[in-house]
Amino acid sequence: MTVGVVGLGLIGGSFAKAYSDNDEHTVLGYDINKEVMERAFDEKTISGELGKGNISECDLVLIALYPEAAVNYLREMAEYIAKDTMVIDCCGVKGYVCERCFPIAKEYGFTFVGGHPMAGRHFSGYDYSMKNMYNGASMVLVPHDLSDEKTIKRAKQLLSPIKFGTFTICDEKRHDSMIAFTSQMAHVVSNAYVKSPTARDHDGFSAGSYKDLTRVAWLNEDMWTELFLENKESLLTELNCFIKSMSEYRDAIEAEDSDRLWKLLHDGKVCKEEIDGI
């Protein structure tokens, strides 16, 4: 197949490397950074530059940009996309993207499916992309119609060379609600936690707990600012729940209420056991 990849950072670069690893596929790529384009050409990650003149040749177009940029790209290129081309975005929020991209696809007659590969690394950029980054990972697909089995099947077939472990099919609201909890909250908590003045003196006193909790404190602030604000309602729901829980722990400790503190800790342990096992 011919695959177009827009944005050759960590996410898009990993897709491009995975497809180009198989000689049966042709990968066309585009990145605003000319040095990245040159490296992608030199490493044979892409065989040509994706643009208005050849995007119609693609069986699949993957848009790996920030949400606003992804929508703008699709709007700009829509008239050049063939009706039998499938376009899948790779953004971390689906409501903002899908609400704008579904109508564009309908107007021009091609198929758009929201997508979110559930894999990544600490660092961003083409240099950190890997051809096997998605092996065994989950890929979330958000079709316009959840009952459209034909579109879902085709999306899975087009993505099959990437070797995802599972596909999760849902609507944009469920995606954004779940991702606010599983991803965005983790980044907020980690980023806030490391701001304690005590953190600067942690060396020699920290082990696994500190490393686990602060792993995602180092982040791309441009990207996460956009993602947080575009998923404001879901993220605020999770933040308010977390703040309420933290207040209960604080109040129990302040009052030296051992019974209440024990119950809070016990309930949290039971939640973990029920959700993920010991």
pLDDT at 23: 83
Euclidean distance between CA atoms 176 and 185, whole angstroms: 12
Of 139 and 278, the one with more pLDDT: 139
Q: What is the pLDDT of residues 138-178, one digit of tens each?
A: 999 999 999 999 999 999 999 999 999 999 999 999 999 99
Tokens in use for 212?
């686990």
Mean pLDDT within 254-268: 98
Euclidean distance between CA atoms 221 and 244, whole angstroms: 26
Q: Which residues pair with residue 62 across a beta bridge?
A: 5, 88
Asked if 98 and 71 touch (Cβ cutoff 8 Å), the reply is no
Euclidean distance between CA atoms 62 and 115, whole angstroms: 9
Q: What is the pLDDT of residues 63-74, one digit of tens each?
A: 999 999 999 999
Pairing of strands 138-142, 111-118: antiparallel
> What would be the CATH architecture of the domain defined by 2-170?
3-Layer(aba) Sandwich (3.40)
Pairing of strands 60-63, 48-49: unpaired
**Res 122 pLDDT > 80:** no
Find, among 233, 232, 226, 235, the residue nearest to 68 by Cα: 226
**Please, which contacts does 67-70 make with residues 24 or more away whose CB atoms are closer than 8 Å?**
67/91, 67/92, 67/93, 67/96, 67/97, 67/226, 67/227, 67/230, 68/96, 68/226, 69/7, 70/6, 70/97, 70/101
Percent of the chain with pLDDT over 90: 95
Q: Is there a shared CATH topology between the 2-170 domain and the 175-276 domain?
A: no
Q: Domains of the chain: which residue ranges?
A: 2-170, 175-276
As assigned by CATH, the class of the 175-276 domain is mainly alpha
Q: What is the pLDDT of residues 15-38, one digit of tens each?
A: 999 999 988 999 999 999 999 999
pLDDT at 181: 98
Asked if 149 and 124 touch (Cβ cutoff 8 Å), the reply is no
Residue 2 in 3-state DSSP? Answer: strand
